[in-house]
Amino acid sequence: DTAVSQTPKYLVTQMGNDKSIKCEQNLGHDTMYWYKQDSKKFLKIMFSYNNKELIINETVPNRFSPKSPDKAHLNLHINSLELGDSAVYFCASSARAGRVLNEQYFGPGTRLTVT
Amino acid sequence: GQSLEQPSEVTAVEGAIVQINCTYQTSGFYGLSWYQQHDGGAPTFLSYNALDGLEETGRFSSFLSRSDSYGYLLLQELQMKDSASYFCARGHQAGTALIFGKGTTLSVSS
């Protein structure tokens, strides 16, 4: 029974296109995240949502727009894709802040390739 | 700042013990976590230290010294399956995300 799921797993698209990645968690967590992992494996927070409310927007270009329809879902829409957007995007979730925040559950990742 | 520093690569043989160090900047520090990531996989949580001392979970242990702004992950009785990247992480200043180190690639050989 998958805890954090993402679709699609692979996404290959051309520059200038718009694409979305979906994420769902069935852990009953209040907080969800999007992380970006580049080709050097550097993991960087992009967005954090708590109970559908945006908490962190880590200087991400406004071409990236997260949407949380409910606390179990956090989707990521990307407009006007650029070559530099090629990366693996991970969705994650955790219980409330504090100690339990540090135990985050990651989805399998979406490998985005922009050509 | 809130950055973390860890070695980029460590190599070891099966059955050995390896220690992966992590140093961090003290600004707004709330505790240190460790994550494992196999190639092509997702990061998975290993351990968390909020206070000084050692936390043990099977073959893995994690240590924190807040006075030294330093922690480490200790892996004992290494197995080939332990070959992976290991990340230390700390809480984001806004309190609801993680800031990761750049990761340490551990290669275990027979």
What is the structure's pLDDT at A46? 94
Per-residue pLDDT of B74-108, as tens digits, reads: 999 999 999 999 999 998 776 678 999 999 999 99
- Summarize the confidence of residues B32-38 as an average pLDDT: 96
Answer whether A33 sits within 8 Å of B102, measured CB to CB: no
Low-confidence ranges of chain A (pLDDT < 50): none
Residues of A in contact with B91 (CB under 8 A): 101-102
Residue B51 tokens read as 């206070």
**Closest CB from B31, B43, B98 relative to A45:** B98
Per-residue pLDDT of B48-73, as tens digits, reads: 998 999 999 899 999 999 999 999 99
pLDDT at residue B35 tops 70: yes
Would you list the DSSP string of chain A? --SEEEE-SEEEE-TT--EEEEEEE-S--SEEEEEEE-TT--EEEEEEEETTEEEEE-S--TTEEEEEEETTEEEEEE-S--GGG-EEEEEEEESSSSGGGGS-EE---EEEEE-
Residues of B in contact with A97 (CB under 8 A): 95-96
CA distance A31 to A36: 17
Per-residue pLDDT of A14-47, as tens digits, reads: 999 999 999 999 999 989 999 999 999 999 999 9
**How many Å lie between the alpha carbon of B106 and the closest alpha carbon of chain A?**
14
What is the structure's pLDDT at A69? 93
